[in-house]
Structure 1
């Protein structure tokens, strides 16, 4: 295991992200992404959250109440994006959904699909359909072997059953039941790194394969780069690939992606009520700061009555992962080429 001191040295060997564009600034906030906790029924190899069934961290009633107050008091919030862990199994999932939908917000739930078959969660597909939640589901490849290597034995088969279930409910077909899939590249075994393929072309391949073999349809494929955080970072460190991977990402920096970075119009909130510029900064413990250099919390946002307290976005070398090639975000690629 590489020590934290050596890790810092490796990070510093990469050109500081902000050097490639002057200070990265926040735009008007319209997306609230909430990480409800780190408990999950899976422990995926590439998980930047390092979630697992053994994790116990999750939202408290107090923070849940504060988040609902945010949703109720700020009409500028257009999207409430729920993630985890497995968000469906964590405290606050249904109360936050109810509050957001009552205010007419779009609600995204980032699902691992397999949660539907765990005891106590078989109502989730129907619940999502009833409330017209947008489902963004992880399926890092359309081939069983690749998925199971990243996510665990049998996950591909279970995911296929879940997608068929969602299709039966109208997902991927009815205009108000959106089903998007997420592709992640396989983790490297040597210094032969690759960015995600062109999103449009890969989406076509996914749709053809899943329809032909399983009768599955979906709306959009989102390609997301594996950022060197959490288990991905540990995986790279064990193989002495962390530093080369950072260099690879930096070498593929694409300035045209910067305008579209997800961190610019969103706030990321953790289960403790702390505020970050994005989910990746959250997992790296790099908090958002106000113009006065104060660390932000949900309570401070409520006290100020203002979501737009951040001027400069906090950045780190892993930000090259979001700006390499066509770019990467929770909404997929940022530019076409």
Structure 2
């Protein structure tokens, strides 16, 4: 445990020895909406069953055109909320797979047991979707505290279901799990564990107790936005947590930051450098300072119109220690 003793937070841009420039876009991450069957305590999207915001048919058609027009896109990453519950999920899956793109679905697993969604595991397998599933711990009590009573049991059943279909075993059916540390409750903070060291523990426990296998574990730092930010502010820990993250800054993570080769799109068609900027309403900009939309990218005929990534204090969460991204550690 480390207690932060810093008194001033250095602006993130000042921490860098050069501007954080955008690289050629290869990943299109789409937030399909805020609808979800869960309301997890650490959710930076603040999704829940009460949220109604979701992709519109017009924006869905524009995104389909983007996927079809730009072969440089290698991965279409679908998130939410529960992406499967929001408009456009299957049309976007099918056009992306028809174009030969990798498609990631960020699933909470429990959606499989909701009425009307029982076909999802077979659908995932049929279209060879890469499943990235939240399981913030391999122990029941920790998971249910973060995600709700009974979520652990349903998640285990869902993982067993996916295994029966070949996930975690067939090289075309990739199943990755996501670890999130608990939200701090006092001013003593721990760095996110090394995912390479934590993964064998996950694999041994899940195989021994449930016969579950999976491909990779991603350890993701809780960034101080959304519900995590609310909980930290409620305990007067928001600024100390940012100071702790700054103290763990690792310049070696910069080259691999996900914001550099990714576009994040919200359900209104607005463009951001990453999902975290999206949640904090920090839009991506052209070199002239113009915010972007999917429609503007189509008009420009290019995905590579952003000069520099927009940064904020929470970027320290992605650059602390081994780094953090939607694909786990960076170094």
**TM over 0.5, yes or no?**
yes
Q: Which residue of 1 aligns with 2:4?
A: none
Q: Secondary structure at the match of 2:303?
A: coil
| Structure 2, gaps ≥5 residues long | 1-6
Structure 1 segments, 4+ long, off by >6 Å, are none
Q: Secondary structure at the match of 1:263?
A: helix
The one of 38, 62, 67 equivalent to 1:71 is 67
- Which range moved further: 108-117 or 186-195? 186-195
Q: Which residue of 2 aligns with 1:17?
A: 12
- Residue 196 of structure 1 deviates from its aligned partner by 1.5
Asked if residue 224 in structure 1 is aligned to residue 220 in structure 2, the reply is: yes
Q: Which residue of 2 aligns with 1:93?
A: 89
Asked if residue 50 in structure 1 is aligned to residue 33 in structure 2, the reply is: no
Question: Superposed, which structure 2 residues align to 1:9-158 within 5 Å?
Answer: 13-21=8-16, 22-158=18-154
- Residue 181 of structure 1 deviates from its aligned partner by 0.0
| Structure 1, gaps ≥5 residues long | 1-11
Q: Which residue of 1 aligns with 2:245?
A: 249
Q: Which residue of 1 aligns with 2:211?
A: 215
The total of aligned residue pairs comes to: 324
Q: Which residue of 2 aligns with 1:7?
A: none
CA distance in 2 between counterparts of 1:176 and 1:194 reads 36
Q: Secondary structure at the match of 2:217?
A: strand
CA distance in 2 between counterparts of 1:121 and 1:195 reads 37
- Deviation per CA, 1:233-282: give whole Å up to 9, x if none: 00000011101000000000000000000000000000000000000000
Q: Which residue of 1 aligns with 2:3?
A: none
Q: Secondary structure at the match of 2:325?
A: coil
CA distance in 1 between counterparts of 2:56 and 2:242 reads 36
Q: Which residue of 2 aligns with 1:264?
A: 260
State the Cα RMSD in Å: 0.8
